[in-house]
Amino acid sequence: MLTVTELKKSFGEIQAVRGLSFSIKRGETFGLLGPNGVGKSTTINMIVGLLEPDSGAVSLADVNDSSLREYRLNIGAAPQSLALYDEFTAQENLEFFAKLYGLSGAKLKERVEYALDLAALVDRKDDRINTYSGGMKRRLNLACAMVHDPPFLALDEPMVGVDPQSRNLIFERIEELKKSGCTILYTTHYMEEAQRLCDRVAIMDNGQIKDIGTVEELIERHGGPSIVTAEFEEQPNLALSSDVTIDGHTLHAKTPKPMELIAKLTDSGVTFRSLNVERPNLETVFLNITGTKLRD
């Protein structure tokens, strides 16, 4: 669906994007992860046609020129900042943006109703949005991106400033879109969002992609060992590897294969008082790749 090849963009002396390449299959949800300021928004802006790349190419549904109408009709984008007319109602906002994509008549009505339902704003559709909460606006921002039924959706940090209820609703709606076959490019720096929604993830740092893969693949490659902590009824008498330390009744272990260690302990006949396994997740991967030092 989308192919990005050697994309580069600089702002003066700053190289925001340094030769980015990746592709997204039709129906896939692809996460672009990275700390703030690593070039995620610049990348997405070049993909949706808001920024002209210095070099490289973007191809969406076999259309290579982002200024072409066919290219734009295939994209629905929810910018990071809210992009709505405060003096309009939700319905008026949706109708206006739908008309810009050539919708009219029954199709327009049908899509606006769908988008209102998607944003769960049917009951408030006639209220001006300057009376809405931040979460409601965020949901409408997403609905405006979907109103013309695009096959490709670019969501730039869609959960910023959203309350837990709206956050959950937005998750559900994106999952519905995913099931309906929509291709989604999702940028975020919240790992649990990416882990829940994305089929594949690219981790960006310093304008480059550090690695791409499924969440499991990335954890396997960059997650490191699991941490096993066990407490026994009696002090165990076991011969274990050097990664395992036993202090009285408590065992601490760092192992890439925690289940094997637990099986071995069970087989030895020890009685567990408690057992805790901390597996690496995407956040661990992220911190391992991008480092833990604060960067601005």
Partner 1 sequence: MREIWHMAAKDLSLLVRDRAGLFWLLAFPLIMALFFGSVMGGMGGSGGRGKMRLAFVDETSGSQYAIEYRKLLSESNALSVTDTNMVDARQSVRVGRRSAYIALMPDTAAQSGLSLYPGGIPRFEVGIDPSRKAEAAVLQGLLTQTHFSLVMGQFSDPASAMDMFRTSSETLDTLNVSKSGIDASQRDNLQELLSSLESFYGKMDSIKEQVADSHSFSDNDSVTDSANPDSSTATAANGLADSGPFQGPEFNIHAVVDDRERPHSAFEITFPQALIWGLLGCVTAFALSIVTEKTHGTLVRLRLAPLSYTQIIGGKGLACFIAAISVCAILMAIGYVVFDVRIDDPLKLALAIVACAICFVGIMMVISLMGKTERAVSGAGWGIMLVFSMVGGGMIPLIAMPSWMVEIGALSPVRWGITALEGAIWRGLSYQEMLLPVGILVTIGVTAFFIGVTILSRRQM
- Judged by the rule CB under 8 A, the positions of this chain that interact with partner 1 are 48-50, 67, 69, 72-73, 75, 77, 79, 81-88, 92, 96-97, 99-102, 144
Q: Of the two residues 20 and 147, which places its CB atom closer to partner 1 in the complex?
A: 147
Q: At its nearest, how many Å lie between partner 1 and the CB of residue 220?
A: 37
Q: Of the two residues 71 and 286, which places its CB atom closer to partner 1 in the complex?
A: 71
Q: At its nearest, how many Å lie between partner 1 and the CB of residue 82?
A: 6
Contacts of 9 (CB under 8 A, 6+ apart): 15, 16, 17, 39, 42, 46, 51, 53, 54
Residue type, 255: T
Q: At its nearest, how many Å lie between partner 1 and the CB of residue 85?
A: 6
Beta-strand ranges (E) seen in 173-225 are: 183-188, 200-205, 208-213
Query: What DSSP string describes 5-52?
Result: EEEEEEETTEEEEEEEEEEE-TT-EEEEE--TTSSHHHHHHHHHTSS-
Q: Is the dihedral of CA 171, 177, 181, 186 positive or negative?
A: negative
Short-list 9, 279, 61, 40, CA closest to 183: 61
Q: Of the two residues 145 and 253, which places its CB atom closer to partner 1 in the complex?
A: 145
Q: Of the two residues 150 and 258, which places its CB atom closer to partner 1 in the complex?
A: 150
Q: Are 284 and 215 in contact (CB under 8 A)?
A: no
Q: At its nearest, how many Å lie between partner 1 and the CB of residue 49?
A: 7
Q: Which residue has the tokens 């597996």?
A: 279
Q: Of the two residues 95 and 205, which places its CB atom closer to partner 1 in the complex?
A: 95
Q: Of the two residues 28 and 92, which places its CB atom closer to partner 1 in the complex?
A: 92
Contacts of 101 (CB under 8 A, 6+ apart): 73, 147, 148
Over the range 84-102, which residues count as b (16 or more CB within 10 Å of their CB) and which as e?
Answer: beeeebbbbbbbebbeebe
Radius of gyration from C-alpha coordinates of the chain = 24
Q: At its nearest, how many Å lie between partner 1 and the CB of residue 67?
A: 8
Q: At its nearest, how many Å lie between partner 1 and the CB of residue 213?
A: 30
Q: Of the two residues 87 and 117, which places its CB atom closer to partner 1 in the complex?
A: 87
Q: At its nearest, how many Å lie between partner 1 and the CB of residue 75?
A: 7
Q: How is residue 59 annotated by DSSP? A: E
Q: Of the two residues 52 and 175, which places its CB atom closer to partner 1 in the complex?
A: 52
Q: At its nearest, how many Å lie between partner 1 and the CB of residue 285?
A: 31
Q: How far apart are CA 128 and CA 89, in angstroms?
A: 4
Contacts of 110 (CB under 8 A, 6+ apart): none
